[in-house]
Amino acid sequence: MRRLILLCWLPLLSAGCAAPEIRLDREAERLGLTRSLVKGTDYQHVVYRNRAGFQNGELHVYLDGDGSPWIHHQLIADNPTPRNPLVLRLISQDPSASLYLGRPCYHGFGTKPPCTAELWTLRRYSKTVVDTMTAALRELRNALHPRKTVLIGFSGGAALAMLLAERMDGLSGIVTIAGNLDPDAWAERHHYSPLTGSENPAKHPPLSDKIFQLHLAGAKDTNIPPDLIRAAVQRQPSATFIVLPDADHDCCWEKLWPPILETIKAR
């Protein structure tokens, strides 16, 4: 054990010992994505973008999951940045102009004011988080001038996609993957503490029927099982819900993504 700890002190010699934001940067570079920063309200957001041109003026905006806000569900993590680059790999398959919009206080910004651990734990879907992501997305859209925008949210990013959609003009669609569409029901199912201070999209009015909605669940998902997603989707009259038999929470969305992208394109 002592030998392993000593090895991890060697700066950046081992990818496994690098900070999660560094590992994401490396994976983004490997996938041909470019990295930049965009200002929200009082927070900086990391953006990864593919090199695809606009198809019919459409922009796909990907929102990642909650990452690692807790250690073993007991201790607050000092760095919530996602360890799994699944969303980056989905973007790399997308032929449409696409970008990854990071959350406030993730990607190495957690120790910088005004960040507090509440913004990746109990208040991860709070008005503060949604407002700054809305401001960041508006900046990006003003720079890129897309005619249509589709939000694509994975896991907890699905909750944020639904909350962002309430605040964004000109949104054409939402796609969620294993989405936490009812955080209160999810916390109750797993006997977690309620996300006090967070907004719950399942308790908000339905989105406009002008917004295309496609909600995807994995039949083998034990983190956010299909019945939790189905109950939330039933509150959205214009939404489509699909359960994929071979998927769980993290697997095997990369394999399934190309035909799903075709479905989005043909909507």
Nearest to 50 by CA among 24, 31, 25, 22: 31
For residue 16, the model assigns a pLDDT of: 54
Assigned domain for 10 exists: no
Residue 266 CB-half CA count within 13 A: 6
Range of the domain at 254: 20-265
Instruction: Give the mean pLDDT per block of 10 residues along the chain (267 residues).
Output: 34 61 98 98 98 87 97 90 97 97 98 97 98 98 95 98 94 97 98 96 96 97 98 94 97 96 89
C-alpha–C-alpha distance, residues 6 and 115, integer Å? 31
Q: pLDDT at position 93, please? A: 97
Residue 185 lies inside a defined structural domain of this protein:
yes
| Greatest CA separation for the chain | 59
CATH number of the domain within which 193 lies: 3.40.50.1820
Which residues 6+ apart lie within 8 Å of 142 measured at CB?
none
Give the pLDDT confidence score for residue 7 in this predicted structure.
33
Residue 232, domain member (yes or no): yes
Return the pLDDT at 53. 84
For tokens 């909600």, the residue is 215
pLDDT at 106: 98
Q: Note whether residue 11 is domain-resident.
A: no
Does 170 map to a domain?
Answer: yes
Q: What confidence score (pLDDT) does residue 9 get?
A: 36
Amino acid 119: pLDDT = 98
Question: Does residue 162 lie in a domain region?
Answer: yes
Q: What is the pLDDT of residue 3?
A: 33
How would you class 216 by CB atoms within 10 Å of its CB: exposed for 0-12, middle for 13-18, buried for 19 or more? Answer: buried
pLDDT value of position 4: 32
pTM comes to 0.93
**Residue 30 within a domain:** yes
Task: Quote the pLDDT of residue 6.
Answer: 32
Q: How many domains does the chain have?
A: 1
Residue 4 lies in a domain: no
3-state secondary structure of 104: coil
